[in-house]
Structure 1
Amino acid sequence: MTHPAPPRDPRLTPARPDLADVALRGLVEAASYVEGVPHRVSAPSAPLRRAPSSDSGIDTEAVMGDAVSVYEVKDGFAYVQLRHDGYVGYLPADALGRAEPEPTHRVRALRTFLYPAPDLKRPNRGHLGLGAAMSAEGQEGEYLRLESGLYVFAPHCEPIAWREPDFAVTAERLVGTPYLWGGRTSLGLDCSGLVQLALELAGLPCPRDADQQERALGQPLPPGDLGSLRRGDLVFWRGHVGLMLDGERLIHANGHHMAVAVEPLAVAVARIREKSYGPVTSLRRLTPSAGS
C-alpha cells in the first residue's frame, strides 16, 4: 500500500499557484516554474512578510549578509527563500543586493554603527546588529572599509568564521531586548528568534519557528523530567521555547515580560501552563557538553 506524501510546510516551500521553484516541478502544481536568482540582504535588517504588503504581518527578519534566492520582484517586493533556514516570503526589494562578494566579517557587538568615513564624529548611516555579516575590502585605522563604501568599527566585528560555542552566553547578552513577534535581531526578538540567533552564532544550524526547532534540534530527554535539565537544554511548549542557563533558570523572549528575561523554570512553567501555552511538551538536549 502506498501512502500519500506528507503535506509540504508552506513556510519552507517556494511555491504559489502562479509560480514555484523549478526544483519543485512535478512535486507541486504551478502555472510557471523559475530558478531562484542568488542575492544577499544589503540592508541592516528587513522584515520577511507572508504577503507583498507593508500591512502584512512579519514572519521573521533577514539581516545584512543573509543569502536569499529571489523568484520574483514586483511592486517593490521580492518573493524569496532565505538560504540559512529555508523560510519563504516577501522582502522589500530595495533591501537586496548582489550575491557577491561573500561576507568576510560578522558583527560580534550587540549593535554597531555604519559611518560614511572612518570617523566616529561623522553622521551615522544606520546600524548593524549582532550576527549581521558584511564584506570588508580593507581596514583604515580602527575601521573596516566595507564593499558598500561605508565603515564599521573593527573591534565590534570578527572574521566570518568566528563562533561563540556557548550559545547560552549569547542568549544572556540579549537579556532586556524587547519582545518582537518575528524578530531575530538585537533590537527585538521572539522566543524562537532568540534560540536561532544564539545557536547560529555557535555554528549550529537552526530552524526558525519553535515547532520546527522542537522536531529538529538535539535529542529528547525524558518528558516531564525537569530536574535533569542543565545549561543549554531547550524547553518547549506548544508555540514557545526557552533555553536553560543551569538546572533551575530559564531564559526566553516572552510576551509576559515583553522582553528577553531570566526566571526560575518552575515559575515560568506554572504561569505558562495557566495563562498561555499550556504544559511543557518536550525537553531537548543539543550536545552532551553544551555550555560546559
Structure 2
Amino acid sequence: MSKPLDRRRHPWRDDLAALSLRGKVDAPRYVEGQQQQIAAPLASLRNAPEPQAMLLTQGLRGEIFTVYDRQGEWLWGQLESDGYVGWLRAARLSAKPAAPTHYVSVARSHIYPRPDIKTTPVAVLSMMAKLRVVQSRGRFVQLSDGGYMMASHVHPLGDWQRDFAGVAARFLNTPYLWGGRSADGIDCSALVQMALGACGVAAPRDSDMQEAELFTALPGGIQNTTLQRGDLVFWPGHVGIMWSPSELLHANGHHMMTVIEPLKTALLRIKAETGPPGCVKRGTA
C-alpha cells in the first residue's frame, strides 16, 4: 500500500486539490494554480484564513507562491521553495514575478531608498530573501524596484556559503518562534533549512522531513559516534546542529532563542521532555 500524501507538502483539501494531483487524490474539483511572488519582506503562512491562526511557516521576499484558492484577502497555495501549503495574505504577493539574481547572505539587512546609509531604511530583509539586482553603485547594489542594499550583504545565486554551522551561528540570540523562518524569529528546523539553503542545499521544512530526507544516518547513534561540526542531531520534534564535538547549536523553546550550549546539558534536559535523540545524520554542505 502506498504511503498517503503529506498534506503539508501537497495542495489538497477535502473540497479541492491541485490539478497536478488528479489521479493521486480524490477531490470534487481540481485547480490549475497561478504563480505569484512574495513582494513583502516576510509572508506568514497559516493553517486557516485568519490572522490569529497557527503559524505554519513563513515565505521570504522573492519566493514563488502558487495560488489555488482565495477567500477574501487570503490566498491558499504552496511555496515553491519547500512545498509547504497554507494561507497567506494576498497583499504580500505580486502577480508579476521578477527572476531573482541574488540572495541575502547575512541574518538581516536594510533596503535604503538611496545609496546612503544615513537615509531611513524602507524595509529589512532576512537571510535567503531573493532579489533582482540591476546594477552596482559603489558599496551598494540597486534592486529592480529602485531600492539599495549593501553589496557585501548579498551574493549571486549559485555563489553559496561553505560552512553551514557557521551560517546558522549568524542567528545566535534570535528569538524562538514556532513556524518562524527569519531573523525576527526562527524555529529549530528553519534554522537548519536556512543555513543549508545559504550553502546551496535544499532542505525540507520540518524536522521529521529533515530526519527522513537529509544526509546519512550514522549507525552508532549518538552514544557510539564521534560527533563533528555540522552533524545533525534529531529528537522527536526537534533538531540541532553540532557546533563542535561537544556543543549543540539550536533554536529551542527552553531558552526561547538560538543558542550554543553543551551537548550533555541539552541531552539531559530534552530526554526529560521528549526522550533521547532518534538519530544523528552527517553530510556535506
Q: TM-score, normalised by structure 1?
A: 0.93
* Partner residue, 1:123: 120
SS at match of 1:12: coil
* Partner residue, 1:246: 244
Q: Is the 8 A contact 1:114 1:126 kept in 2?
A: yes
Q: Deviations over 1:136-177 (max 9, x none)?
A: 222334322212222222222111222112101111221111
Greater Cα shift, 67-76 or 164-173: 67-76
Greater Cα shift, 214-223 or 154-163: 154-163
SS at match of 1:169: helix
Counting matched residue pairs gives: 284
Aligned AA (2:263):
L
Q: Is the 8 A contact 2:105 2:198 kept in 1?
A: no
Q: Deviations over 1:106-152 (max 9, x none)?
A: 11222111122223232221111122111122233432221222222
Question: Counterparts of 1:94 and 1:171 in 2: how far apart (Å)?
Answer: 30
Greater Cα shift, 45-54 or 146-155: 146-155
Match of 1:233 among 231, 234, 247: 231
User: How far does residue 227 in structure 1 lie from its aligned partner after superposition?
Assistant: 4.1
Q: Is the 8 A contact 1:166 1:202 kept in 2?
A: yes
Structure 1 gap segments, 5+ residues each: none
User: How far does residue 226 in structure 1 lie from its aligned partner after superposition?
Assistant: 5.2
2:221 is aligned with 1:223 = yes
* Partner residue, 1:260: 258
SS at match of 1:225: helix
Q: Deviations over 1:11-33 (max 9, x none)?
A: 01101122211011122122221
SS at match of 1:11: coil
Q: Is the 8 A contact 1:79 1:89 kept in 2?
A: yes
* Partner residue, 1:57: 54
SS at match of 1:28: coil
User: How far does residue 99 in structure 1 lie from its aligned partner after superposition?
Assistant: 5.2
Runs of 4+ in 1 over 4 A off after TM superposition: none
SS at match of 1:196: helix
User: How far does residue 6 in structure 1 lie from its aligned partner after superposition?
Assistant: 1.5
Q: Is the 8 A contact 2:39 2:62 kept in 1?
A: yes
Greater Cα shift, 190-199 or 156-165: 156-165
SS at match of 2:172: coil
Question: Counterparts of 2:212 and 2:7 in 1: how far apart (Å)?
Answer: 16
* Partner residue, 2:109: 112
* Partner residue, 1:144: 141
2:182 is aligned with 1:180 = no
Indicate the percent of aligned positions where both proteins have the same amino acid. Answer: 42
* Partner residue, 2:34: 37
Question: Counterparts of 2:147 and 2:15 in 1: how far apart (Å)?
Answer: 39
Q: Is the 8 A contact 1:69 1:82 kept in 2?
A: yes
Q: Deviations over 1:89-120 (max 9, x none)?
A: 01111111145321111112221111222232
User: How far does residue 190 in structure 1 lie from its aligned partner after superposition?
Assistant: 0.5
Q: Is the 8 A contact 2:106 2:170 kept in 1?
A: no
Question: Counterparts of 1:172 and 1:115 in 2: how far apart (Å)?
Answer: 26
Change (3 A) 1:213 1:126: same
Question: Counterparts of 1:73 and 1:119 in 2: how far apart (Å)?
Answer: 40
Question: Counterparts of 2:36 and 2:52 in 1: how far apart (Å)?
Answer: 24
* Partner residue, 2:70: 73
Structure 2 gap segments, 5+ residues each: none
Greater Cα shift, 192-201 or 225-234: 225-234
Q: TM-score, normalised by structure 2?
A: 0.95
* Partner residue, 2:99: 102
Aligned AA (1:251):
L
* Partner residue, 1:135: 132
Q: Is the 8 A contact 1:67 1:99 kept in 2?
A: no
Question: Counterparts of 1:168 and 1:11 in 2: how far apart (Å)?
Answer: 27
SS at match of 2:8: helix
Match of 1:156 among 153, 156, 160: 153
Q: CA RMSD in A?
A: 1.5
